Amino acid sequence: MITSLSIENFALIEKLSVNFSDGFSVITGETGAGKSILLGALGLVLGKRADLTSLKNKEEKCIIEANFSIKKYHLKPFFIANDLDYEDETIIRREILPSGKSRAFINDTPVNLNELQELSNYLIDIHSQHQTQELSEDKVQFQIIDSVASNFDLISEYTLKLKDYKKVKSDLKSKTELLQSVLKEQDYNSFLLEELLAANLKNGEQEELEEQFEKLNNVEFIKENIVKSLTIANDDQIGVLNNLKEIKLSFQKIAGFSSEYNELFERISSVLIEFDDIEKELTNLSETLYSNPEELELLNQKLQLIYALQKKHQVNSVEELLLIQNDLDNKVVSVTTLESEIISMENHIEEIKIQLDILSEQISKNRVEAVPVLVNKLSQILEQLGMPNAKFDIQLIKKEEYYNNGKDEIQFLFSANKGSDFGMLKKVASGGEMSRIMLAVKSVLSIYSSLPTIIFDEIDTGVSGEIAHKMGEIMKSMSQNMQVFAITHLPQIAGKGKEHFKVFKVVKDNQTQSELKLLTDDERIIEIAQMLSGSTISDSALNHAKELLN
């Protein structure tokens, strides 16, 4: 529950600090006094977005801080999951800077708004007038009946399974579309793969083939130059080989005269040995070179095949062709793999559906059992609120589709008067009736819900007299299970509060400010008397106020 609230520099509030007790508290004040400002400040603490218009003084930051006693509400798992420090007395702080930026803290740890909003769902239910219409929404109606049916653990388990189901179905759709796409290209891919496999390509093959082709294609010219080189090397008169032998012989004769001549002699000997080896290789080449048109044609055909494949696949090397070949091979093989994966996913989906059906059947069974309990409790409360003939017809229709909370559709029908036909809530219930129905619903939920705090913002709109008195009794009764606040204009409800706060405006230094005050017993009498008779308080109003308080 909320134990204290402090506000600085927010709207018409310069600085305000207030402590709250458990039980039933009422907040009253004239229209425009600032009750909505309090709710706005509390909304910021609970994660609503802020802007600079919230600042009273645009040059200073706004700080709103709320203390919550959460020991009894089993919230440690939330703090652990979000890596937050858990404290039995948890402090939530929100700051709005003059720059327009805002910051949020839980127990002095910075958090984002999503985390703050998630925590607030476990702390406070703020019920304003416009939310009464939410009773007509399927989501809210299911929340009501599932609270009575104690279905939330089952629905949490179902939701996880449904998430898994939707993911696998989505993956299956993608795999199936991929398989269809692959199958369309299968024949063409197989043809391309067979064409590449038939080419029997090897890394580095193109360069080797091109070299062999150039040799064979120019064999006569190559042989002519080799023969010419041999002639120059071996000619008896001017042959390089004979001349080198003569030079060697000459230097052999003088090598003994100095180390310099000997070194030259050794170098000439080395050149002669090398050249002699070259002459032998040229001779071998000359003897092995011959024209081979058949081999030349085969080389040409293989090269033309490589060039054609490169052009078709828009690449420039055999290595790139081999990569394409490997990719095509994977695509052809992937058909079998995809088909196997699809079968496995289809089987998995069937398994999840069985689990979803079991869970949804139990959820539905619990709802069916909860319907008469809910209808009976609502009817009893509405009878107290002056609607003795109010009746509900809650119908659950089983469907094949998997919804977010099971496989049921709901019809939440209502009849306010005896003999009247059942109809949709928003069509057959008046504003005052909707307020009473919502209070009845919240009263029932207070028994089954572990929510610490509920705030009713003028839920008494459209009612008065004895009905207002009964509404106050119901809120007071709810406060046995949770902390209850009522922002009200009705003295009958104000008189039921354990504590009574008044919101009012004052002028300080030519500035209008809103303030909140906890009233003493005597001040409560005066406030309720004013609510009964206006600013001029009569003796009868004072006596009536005392009676309401007693």
The pLDDT confidence band at residue 238, using thresholds 50, 70 and 90, is confident
Residues with Cβ < 8 Å from 495, sequence gap 6 or more? 472, 528, 545, 548, 549
Closest Cα to residue 355, out of 143, 134, 482, 165?
165
Residue 295 in this model has a pLDDT that exceeds 90? no
Q: Which two tokens stand for residue 85?
A: 């420090």
Q: What phi and psi, each to the nearest 5 degrees, are found at residue 499? A: -130, 150
CA distance 2 to 447: 19
Residue 194 in this model has a pLDDT that exceeds 70? yes
Residues with Cβ < 8 Å from 77, sequence gap 6 or more? none
- Alpha-carbon separation of residue 21 from 136, 236, 340, 342 (angstroms): 33, 128, 64, 60
Q: What is the 3-state secondary structure (H, E, C) of 179-211?
A: HHHHHHHHHHHHHHHHHHHHHCCCCCHHHHHHH
Highest mean pLDDT among 364-368, 414-418, 512-516, 538-542: 364-368
Sort strands 453-457 and 483-487 into parallel, antiparallel or unpaired. Answer: parallel
For 340-351, the pLDDT digits (tens) are: 889 999 999 999
Verify that 111 and 182 share a domain, yes or no. Answer: no
| Residue 130: predicted pLDDT | 63
Query: For the residues 387-415, what does the mean pLDDT come to?
Result: 91
The whole model's pTM is what?
0.65
Of all residues in the chain, what percent are helix, strand and coil, respectively (each to 5)? 60, 20, 20
Q: Are 135 and 329 in contact (CB under 8 A)?
A: no
Verify that 190 and 293 share a domain, yes or no. Answer: yes
CA distance 407 to 360: 6
Would 170 be classed as within a structural domain? no
| Residue 152: predicted pLDDT | 87
Would 25 be classed as within a structural domain? yes
Residue 355 in this model has a pLDDT that exceeds 80? yes
Verify that 30 and 93 share a domain, yes or no. Answer: yes
CA 16 centroid distance within chain: 38
390: left (phi over 0), alpha (psi -120 to 50) or beta: beta
The pLDDT confidence band at residue 508, using thresholds 50, 70 and 90, is confident
Closest Cα to residue 193, out of 322, 14, 45, 378?
322
Would 475 be classed as within a structural domain? yes
CA distance 122 to 113: 15
The pLDDT confidence band at residue 520, using thresholds 50, 70 and 90, is very high
For the chain, the straight-line distance linking the first and the last C-alpha, in angstroms and rounded, comes to 27
Closest Cα to residue 519, out of 500, 491, 497?
500
Question: What is the maximum span of the chain, computed from C-alpha positions, in angstroms?
Answer: 155
Examine the fold and report which residue of 337, 368, 390 is the final residue of a domain before the chain moves on.
337
CA distance 448 to 122: 14
Verify that 327 and 181 share a domain, yes or no. Answer: yes
Verify that 189 and 315 share a domain, yes or no. Answer: yes
Q: Are 119 and 107 in contact (CB under 8 A)?
A: no
Verify that 211 and 296 share a domain, yes or no. Answer: yes
Would 319 be classed as within a structural domain? yes
Residue 32 in this model has a pLDDT that exceeds 80? no
For 127-167, the pLDDT digits (tens) are: 876 666 677 788 888 988 998 999 988 998 999 999 999 99
Verify that 255 and 110 share a domain, yes or no. Answer: no
| Residue 159: predicted pLDDT | 92
The pLDDT confidence band at residue 246, using thresholds 50, 70 and 90, is confident
| Residue 343: predicted pLDDT | 92
Would 387 be classed as within a structural domain? no
The pLDDT confidence band at residue 200, using thresholds 50, 70 and 90, is confident
CA distance 17 to 146: 38
Verify that 107 and 253 share a domain, yes or no. Answer: no
> How many helices and strands in the chain, by DSSP H and E?
17, 15
353: left (phi over 0), alpha (psi -120 to 50) or beta: alpha
Verify that 227 and 291 share a domain, yes or no. Answer: yes
State the CATH number of the domain containing residue 108: 3.40.50.300
| Residue 54: predicted pLDDT | 77
Q: For the chain, what percent of residues have pLDDT higher than 90?
A: 35
For 380-399, the pLDDT digits (tens) are: 999 988 888 999 999 999 99
For 440-489, the pLDDT digits (tens) are: 988 898 888 778 899 998 887 777 788 888 999 999 999 988 999 999 98
Verify that 105 and 185 share a domain, yes or no. Answer: no
The pLDDT confidence band at residue 408, using thresholds 50, 70 and 90, is very high
The larger pLDDT score, comparing residue 392 to residue 186, is at: 392
Q: How many domains does the chain have?
A: 2
Q: What phi and psi, each to the nearest 5 degrees, are found at residue 50? A: -120, 165
| Residue 359: predicted pLDDT | 95
Q: Which amino acid is at 535?
A: S
Would 384 be classed as within a structural domain? no
| Residue 133: predicted pLDDT | 67
| Residue 129: predicted pLDDT | 65
Query: For the residues 394-422, what does the mean pLDDT come to?
Result: 90
CA distance 301 to 313: 18
Examine the fold and report which residue of 337, 365, 394 is the final residue of a domain before the chain moves on.
337
Burial, 96: exposed, middle or buried (Cβ in 10 Å; 0-12, 13-18, 19+)?
buried
Verify that 48 and 196 share a domain, yes or no. Answer: no
Q: Which two tokens stand for residue 200?
A: 């029997």
Residues with Cβ < 8 Å from 296, sequence gap 6 or more? 213, 216, 217
The pLDDT confidence band at residue 332, using thresholds 50, 70 and 90, is low
CA distance 499 to 24: 7
Q: Which amino acid is at 539?
A: D
Among 30-34, 96-100, 380-384, where is mean pLDDT lowest? Answer: 30-34
Would 356 be classed as within a structural domain? no
CA distance 173 to 321: 33
Among 117-121, 191-195, 318-322, 375-379, where is mean pLDDT lowest? Answer: 191-195
Examine the fold and report which residue of 312, 337, 362 is the final residue of a domain before the chain moves on.
337
Residue 292 in this model has a pLDDT that exceeds 80? no
Verify that 221 and 94 share a domain, yes or no. Answer: no
CA distance 425 to 429: 6
Residue 371 in this model has a pLDDT that exceeds 90? yes
Q: Which two tokens stand for residue 449?
A: 């819900």
Residues with Cβ < 8 Å from 544, sequence gap 6 or more? 491, 529, 532
Q: Are 116 and 47 in contact (CB under 8 A)?
A: yes
CA distance 384 to 399: 37
Q: For the chain, what percent of residues have pLDDT higher than 70?
A: 98
| Residue 326: predicted pLDDT | 86
| Residue 298: predicted pLDDT | 84
Query: In which domain, by residue range, is 470 found?
Result: 1-123+451-519
Residue 247 in this model has a pLDDT that exceeds 90? no
Sort strands 483-487 and 24-28 into parallel, antiparallel or unpaired. Answer: parallel
Highest mean pLDDT among 156-160, 228-232, 233-237: 156-160
Residue 372 in this model has a pLDDT that exceeds 90? yes
DSSP string across 424-493:
EHHHH--HHHHHHHHHHHHHHHHHH----EEEEESTTTT--HHHHHHHHHHHHHHTTTSEEEEE-S-HHH
Query: For the residues 44-67, what does the mean pLDDT come to?
Result: 86
Would 272 be classed as within a structural domain? yes
9: left (phi over 0), alpha (psi -120 to 50) or beta: left
H helical segments located in 495-534 = 521-533
Residue 414 in this model has a pLDDT that exceeds 80? yes
